[in-house]
Structures are given as C-alpha cells and as structure tokens.
Structure 1
Amino acid sequence: MSSPVFSSPVVSTPVVSTPVVSTQWLADHLGSDHLVILDATVFALAPSSTETGAAGPRYLSGRDDYLSKGHIPGAVFAGLIDVFSDPAGDYDFSRPSAELFEAAAASVGIDNSTTVVVYDAVVGQWAARIWWLFRSFGYDDVAVLDGGLAKWHAETRPFATGGTRPRAADGFTTTPRPELWVDKSFIESIVAGETDAALVCSVPPAEFAGTAGARPRAGHIPGSISLPAAGLVDPTTNAFLRGDELNRAIAPAVAAVGASGHLVTYCGGGIAAAASALALIRAGNEHVSIYDGSLNEWAADASAPLSTPGR
C-alpha cells in the first residue's frame, strides 16, 4: 500500500471543539483542507543499566513502524523524541521553547489555520503530550484520536505505508500559556502545605508504591493521588473512558482538590501526566497543570522526599 494523494478537500475545513475526536469523525474528514494528522508513537523499552549501575528508561521512536507497518492515510510522523521536545533539555522529552515548537509545527505542515488530530499506537499518552504542547502554546484547534491506531485498525479502516509529505505551511506562531506548567519549586510549595493544589501521579501502581521503576529512587511525591494513565482507557477497545467510568476513575483525584480547584499531574517525564491531564479536562476540570520535570527531576534530587508505601 502507498500513501494516498489528497489533491482537493473532501469537506470544508473542520474545527474541533472537543479535546478528543472519534475514528468516525476522522474517517469523515480524511482529505480535508487544512487538516493535519500526526502519528506521535514512541515505544518505551525495558530499562538498561547505566555506567553507575542504576537503571534508566529507554525509548524508541515509532517512525519505523509508521513507515513499514502502516499509519492512517495522510498522517505525518511527529518525532516526539527529537523534534517536539528540546534535545538539549536536562531530561527526556523536555518541553521545547516557543521557537523550537514553532519550527516543529511548521516542519509537519501546521500553521495557525490548521486543524490537528494526533494519535499513537499505544494508549494515547504520546498523543496527549503533543495535544498538551499545542494547548500550552496557545493553540486549541487540536484533538486526540479516541482509541488511537489500535481502534482504527480494529475497525478495519484504511492504512497506508511509507511517508507522507507535509503540506506547505505558512508558519506557526505561538501564544504561550505558562500556567499550564509548574516547576519544581511549585511542587515543593505544595508538599510544604504553602500552596493549595492537588498532586496527581500518573505512573503505574507498582511505581507509585515504590516497588518498581526505572529510576534510582522510587516512589511518589508525598501527598499525591494515584491516577495511572493506563487505567484511563478501555483495555478492550483502547478508547478513552467516558461518562460514569471516567468519573469513577478520576474521583480520588477530584476529591483531593482544594478551594483553588488546581490539579497538578506528573509522572516519570511528563508523558503519562498529559494523558491524565486530558482525562481530567474531559471530565470538566479546567484548572490543570503538568509538572514537566516530573520524577525525572524530583527523584534526581536526593533531598526531595519520596513516599514508598509498598516497601
């Protein structure tokens, strides 16, 4: 199979009004003018030993699978490891500067008139990260594909192999929203009881408990509520939880919110945290931020406290 060539729009330019769109919605809009579909797949690999003997997380770009195993027709690969992150950052997937993000968006054919739909081949956390980046740079015409590539494939919808040439873009201009991020000092103020905000940890349960993990120091930031990103999708369909199921999943986090209504999500490196942020916003919680340094930064500080209830 080869990638189809879209020579003209099938329907008028769509503008998404929700953070998630269905596979049917995307199928109905394939080929639309100014629609850009992004494949943001990254694979997490088993930890490897570093020179110091400590385990460290490893990641593999999904680009090869995108090219050889297939992608949604017209989708452009979005390199989250090396394009939509700051390669000079202190940690994997450090958020890019406005200038780097503008260049990244333009490189995949996105300008300020584009509708963006992003998916991945996992459980949506990588797509959610791209979605959050766009929002944090002031762009809201972006949505995550519900169920991602797995649901698209299960519904026997069309696939294409090989690359897709990005559309010509007029340039992308950002309007940063710094309130969508918090830093380590902000987290310290929450832990100290000086700032009213609820901490939401998106790592798997064993990592939260401190009995597993790919970092030298395990556990979670004290006072955090566990909301594993993998538990926010239907394991059968890969679709995001919705309605009562979603509300039950996020109930402990919502119950922890104080008068400020502020929820701060984190994980290992700001990826799963984006999936939790997406779920919280879909459920109507508007005051959500991500701690971008997450446990990569927090656990690297030997003086920063970690709770390990499983030990």
Structure 2
Amino acid sequence: MLISPASLHSHLGDAKYRIIDCRFALNDPEYGRLAYLQGHIPGAVYADLNKDLSAPVIPGKTGRHPLPEVHKFLGWLQQAGITSEDTVVAYDDGPGAYASRLWWLLKWLGHDDVRILDGGLKAWRAAGYDLSTEPAAPKQVDAYEATPDDRLLVTAEELHSKLNDASVNILDARAAPRFAGEMEPIDPVAGHIPNAICAPFEENLTPEGVFKPEEELRRRFANYYAHGKAWEVICYCGSGVTACHNIFSAHLAGYPMPKLYPGSWSEWITDPNRPIAVGNE
C-alpha cells in the first residue's frame, strides 16, 4: 500500500507503473497544476481534485467534492494511460491527503495495486531525486472498464439512520477545533455529526510527514474495531477527501476498510433536518 522514494525511483520507466501527481490546495485550486508544470516526478500525470477526482458541486445539495461521475472518471483513467493491471502510485506534497482520495477511488473500482508514495514529493526531494518539467505522454490504452463497489460507502440517509447504533463508530478526520465547532474556516456551519469521534488524519503521520509504522496505526484504530464495540466504522471529514486518509491508514494497519461518507460535513449541513453537534461530545 505504501512505496518508498527509493523503490519508486527504481521503477521509473517501468511500463506497468503509472505515477499520478495529486497535489492540490483548497485555498488555491490552481496550485497543484502550476506546481506540476514547475516540476514533478518523471513520467507522472497530473490529477486535479476538482476536475478529475470530483464531480461538479451542486449548491445546496452536494458537498464540496462529490464523487466523480463514474463514466467520466473511467474516461480520465484511460486518458492517463491506466489499465486495471497497472501499479498506480499516487503522491502529493507529502501528507497523503489528496493521494489517498485517488487511492480510495481506485479501490472503489476494484483496482488491485494502488500505492501511496510515503512522504510524497517532500520525501522524494529529500532523497535527492530529480524532478521533470516534461509533460507526461501516457501510453495508449483501451477504455478502463469497472463497476464501483458501493458497499464501500454510505449515503447521508444511511448515516442518519445509524447515528444511535452502538455497533457503529463514526470517525471525523478534521482537526479538533473544527470538530468541536470552535472554528470553521471553510464551511458555513460549524460542528460535527452527532456521536462522531474526533480522529484527525494528521495523527496517522510521524513528525517527519511519513505514515506511522503499522503497529502504531493498529494501536490507534484498535478501539474503533474492538470486539463487541463496533462492527462497522464510517469515516468522514469536510468534503470526503481527508477521510480517505483514515480509511487508508486503518487498512494499512490490517483492519477491514472503513466505509466512506463521501458527502461528509459539507453535504450533511445542506439539509437543516440533519442534526449537528458542537463541543467534544
């Protein structure tokens, strides 16, 4: 599930490896594409969170990053030169938040071999490896054919029905102040989904920005999977992106993949009939 800079470097030019640059900034949507043009891992194709990994926002109905329409996402995979047999390596600036979104989308389609570059471009640079300004020339491939596995996600309605289910743990990947409703820099309403647990995605990482060892991650997620406490784990965040980081980390630790609520907080608050909570409870 993870790949080191050294291992990825050894596979540059390997026809079975497809490298995807997922850099993005919520406060500057053009940042990732411009950064890609200024320098990227050789052979990498750019994936734009808003344009390639999400569907258009429907104001008042969807969250900020709805799941992409399947046929359009399959078309993007073909344009990127990806086949179902390829090893796909996703990276971003380092934390893996945007790379984990692509990882989840491919898992949703049943793609077997998807990896995240541990430490992202920051680790690649620290290892002394070169960047390229040459646009990638994806190989010509047939249409990518796959059917999404919607068992990996829950809708707002399904989540609403589970709020008081003691066999379900709902994990919020946002930072504690946003969870508590003490601040909300992005969405118009502050707070969290009732009975959710604050589980910031940054806690999956070491101070150096790489993923913690699997045994540490296993200890982190152990309580959420404890026998008799929770048979189902659901992850959300602000818009369904950083929640994928928790899903990836839990799975990396050896647990079954949690489900994703893709609309997340930004969709939840579009319906005033859905309850909200503030504070740390």
Common topology (TM > 0.5): yes
Note the residue ranges of structure 1 that are not aligned, 5 or more in a row.
1-18, 46-57
Distance in 1, matches of 2:17 and 2:251, equals 23
Distance in 1, matches of 2:113 and 2:215, equals 27
Distance in 2, matches of 1:157 and 1:109, equals 24
Cα shift at 1:32? 0.5
Q: Show the 5 A alignment for 1:201-240.
A: 201-213=172-184, 214-236=186-208, 238-240=209-211
| Structure 1 residue 243 corresponds to structure 2 residue 229 | no
Q: Which residue of 1 aligns with 2:34?
A: 64
Q: Which residue of 1 aligns with 2:271?
A: 301
| Structure 1 residue 173 corresponds to structure 2 residue 145 | yes
Code of the residue aligned with 1:76 in structure 2: it is V
Code of the residue aligned with 1:301 in structure 2: it is D
Q: Which residue of 1 aligns with 2:14?
A: 32
**Contact 2:177 2:183 (C-alpha < 8 Å) held by counterparts:** yes
**Contact 2:64 2:267 (C-alpha < 8 Å) held by counterparts:** no
**Contact 1:38 1:75 (C-alpha < 8 Å) held by counterparts:** yes
Code of the residue aligned with 2:225 in structure 1: it is V
Distance in 2, matches of 1:157 and 1:124, equals 19
| 2:88 match: secondary structure | strand
| Structure 1 residue 273 corresponds to structure 2 residue 232 | no
Distance in 1, matches of 2:103 and 2:89, equals 8
| Structure 1 residue 82 corresponds to structure 2 residue 12 | no
Point out the more displaced range, 58-67 or 281-290: 58-67
**C-alpha root-mean-square deviation of aligned residues, in Å?**
2.0
Deviations 1:212-233 (A, max 9, x none): 1122211111111111112211
Distance in 1, matches of 2:202 and 2:226, equals 20
State the identity %: 32
* Count of residues in Structure 1 that have an aligned counterpart in Structure 2: 277
Q: Show the 5 A alignment for 1:124-203.
A: 124-193=96-165, 196-203=167-174
| 2:265 match: secondary structure | helix
| 1:42 match: secondary structure | coil
More strand by share: 1
| Residue 100 to residue 167, structure 1, CA distance change in 2 (3 Å) | same
| Residue 296 to residue 174, structure 1, CA distance change in 2 (3 Å) | same
Distance in 1, matches of 2:177 and 2:22, equals 26
Deviations 1:148-174 (A, max 9, x none): 111111111121124212221222111
Cα shift at 1:122? 4.1
Distance in 2, matches of 1:254 and 1:109, equals 38
Distance in 1, matches of 2:158 and 2:92, equals 31
Distance in 2, matches of 1:84 and 1:59, equals 13
| 2:20 match: secondary structure | strand
